[in-house]
Amino acid sequence: MKSLLEKLTGIYGPSGKEETISQAIREEIKDYVDEISEDVMGNLIAVKKSSVPNPKKVMLAAHMDQIGLIVTNIDENGFLRFSNIGGINPFNVMHRRVVFENGTTGVVAYETELEDMKGLKLNKMFIDIGVANRDEAKKLVGIGDVAVYHAPMAVSGDRYFGCAMDDRAGCAVLVETIKAVKDSPNELIFVFTTQEEVGLRGAKTSAYALEPDIGISVDVTINGDTPKCRPMAINLGDGPAVKIKDSSVISHPKVKNLMIKRAEEAKLPYQLEVLEFGGTDSGAIHLTRGGVPPGVISIPCRYVHSAHEMVDKNDLDNAVKLLTYILENEIE
Assign 207 to helix, strand or coil: helix
Domains and CATH numbers, the chain: 2-66+163-327 (3.40.630.10), 68-149 (2.40.30.40)
How confident is the model at residue 10, as a pLDDT?
A: 97
Phi-psi region of 154 (alpha: psi -120 to 50; beta: other; left: phi over 0): beta
Question: In DSSP terms, which residues pair with 58 in a beta bridge?
Answer: 188, 214
pLDDT digits (tens, 9 = 90+) for 240-272: 999 999 999 999 999 999 999 999 999 999 999
Q: Which residues contact 99 (CB under 8 A, 6 or more apart)?
A: 12, 105, 106, 147, 148, 149, 150
Instruction: State pTM to two decimals.
Output: 0.95
How confident is the model at residue 51, as a pLDDT?
A: 83
DSSP type of residue 124 = G
Low-confidence residues of the chain: pLDDT under 70: none
Burial of 225 (0-12, 13-18, 19+ CB in 10 A): middle
How confident is the model at residue 113, as a pLDDT?
A: 75
Cα separations (Å) of 236 from 168, 221, 277, 285, 298? 17, 10, 19, 27, 11
Give the catalytic positions in this structure.
Answer: 196
How confident is the model at residue 96, as a pLDDT?
A: 96
Q: CB count, 10 Å around CB of 158? A: 15
Within 183-312, where are the H helices?
201-210, 253-265, 282-285
How confident is the model at residue 110, as a pLDDT?
A: 93
DSSP type of residue 230 = P
What is the H or E stretch that residue 160 is in?
A: strand 159-162
**Rounded to the nearest 5°, which phi and psi values hold at 41?**
-80, -5
